[in-house]
Each structure stands twice: as structure tokens, then as C-alpha cells.
């Protein structure tokens, strides 16, 4: 069975992104740059859907329930001229949980969690932060969501969920998927066993 095309958008830059803090399942607000990235992503989605001969109204729109993803989805839909609130969320698209590391800036982790970070570097896919979850755990959630996708969709979520999707669709093996670059202000088109970055 052919997998539906996914137009995947990572949420726009947040205050914690700018400060270098791990967010996981905690939230911070979009910056002005993050809001501009949302509009930029909308323009790319519109161009890609038109190029594919699709119809925006026929697409499913789904977001992570975390505030930064919802703000991005609502800004994106507004920029497309669509009702900002006419989409649904799925908890299985929430970001990887970093447990007690959430809200901590990376230099603090280096100073206080060096041994754990070294273990993470050796096997990022299977490493579980204290009180958090591994990419392997995350992929189980993403797999359950993916099984419900029945039509081309615009997805707004996170870097971690995109990496899980890269592994799930066989685009990269798990250890490579765990370090796959997922940028903000661009669109990743998942289709035909591959992914292409636009923007």
C-alpha cells in the first residue's frame, strides 16, 4: 500500500530554542522569528500542494498538542487563508520527553550530566534521559499515529517526531535517523520512500 504524502513542518523557533534549552514536552512561546517561519512554511506548503496537483481543502491537518506546534499550525493555516482552528491534534505527535532535563540549557547538562551525555552519544536512538523516553519509545507512538493516516496531510510537530518518522518510513536506519537535521521554517515532503527538504 502506498504511504500518503506528508507535508511535515517543525514548529517555529521558540524562546527556549533561542536560549538553547531542551524543551521536550514542556513549552515556551514562539519568537518573532518563529512566527515568520510559520508564514514561510505556509508559502512552501501552498507551492508544494499546487505542484502536486492537490487541493488544500482535501488535506488532513494534524498537529502535536503542545502549544508551540498548535501556534505554528494556526499561523500556517491563517497564512493559507484557512480557518486557523479547523485542524486536529494527536498526542502521539508530542515531542520526545527529556524527563528531568527539560528546561535545562545544554551547557548545564555538559557540566552536570557528562556521563549520561556520553552514553547518549554512543547510542542516541536507545538512550533514555532520566524520567524521559528514548527515540525507540517515541517511534512506537509515531508508528501508532502513522497507521491511522489515510490521506495526504499537513503535519506540524517536532524535530524528534520527524526523526522517528524518518526511521519508520525506512529513509534512514535508526542511529542515522536520530541525528537527522530537522530545521524550522522549511517543509519536509515525505513521499515514495523518501523525504525532500524545501525552503
- Residues with a catalytic annotation lie at 11, 95
Helix (H) or strand (E) holding 67, with range, is: helix 67-79
Report the alpha-carbon distance of residue 95 to residue 162 in Å, rounded.
9
* Residues facing 89 on adjacent strands: 63
Burial 107-128 (b: 16+ CB within 10 A, else e): eebeeebeeebeebeeebbebb
* Residues facing 156 on adjacent strands: 9, 63
Among residues 40, 30, 33, the alpha carbon closest in space to that of 9 is found at 40
- The answer to whether residues 107 and 98 touch, using CB atoms and an 8 Å cutoff, is no
Amino acid at each position: 500500500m502506498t504511504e500518503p504524502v506528508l507535508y511535515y513542518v517543525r514548529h517555529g523557533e521558540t524562546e527556549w530554542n533561542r536560549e538553547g534549552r531542551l524543551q521536550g514536552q514542556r513549552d515556551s512561546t514562539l519568537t518573532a522569528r518563529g512566527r515568520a517561519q510559520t508564514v514561510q512554511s505556509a508559502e512552501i506548503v501552498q507551492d508544494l500542494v499546487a505542484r502536486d496537483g492537490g487541493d488544500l481543502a482535501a488535506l488532513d491537518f494534524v498537529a502535536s498538542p503542545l502549544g508551540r506546534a498548535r501556534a505554528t499550525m494556526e499561523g500556517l493555516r491563517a497564512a493559507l487563508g484557512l480557518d486557523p482552528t479547523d485542524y486536529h491534534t494527536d498526542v502521539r505527535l508530542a515531542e520526545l520527553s527529556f524527563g528531568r532535563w527539560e528546561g535545562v540549557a545544554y551547557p548545564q547538562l555538559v557540566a552536570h550530566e557528562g556521563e549520561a551525555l556520553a552514553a547518549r552519544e554512543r547510542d542516541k536512538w536507545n538512550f533514555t534521559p532520566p524520567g524521559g523516553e528514548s527515540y525507540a519509545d517515541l517511534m512506537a507512538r509515531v508508528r501508532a499515529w502513522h497507521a491511522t493516516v489515510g490521506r495526504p496531510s499537513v503535519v506540524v510537530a517536532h524535530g524528534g517526531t520527524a526523526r522517528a518518522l524518518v526511521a519508520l518510513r525506512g529513509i534512514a536506519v535508526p542511529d542515522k535517523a536520530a541525528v537527522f537535521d530537522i530545521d524550522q521554517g522549511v517543509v519536509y515532503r515525505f513521499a515514495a520512500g523518501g523525504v525532500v527538504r524545501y525552503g
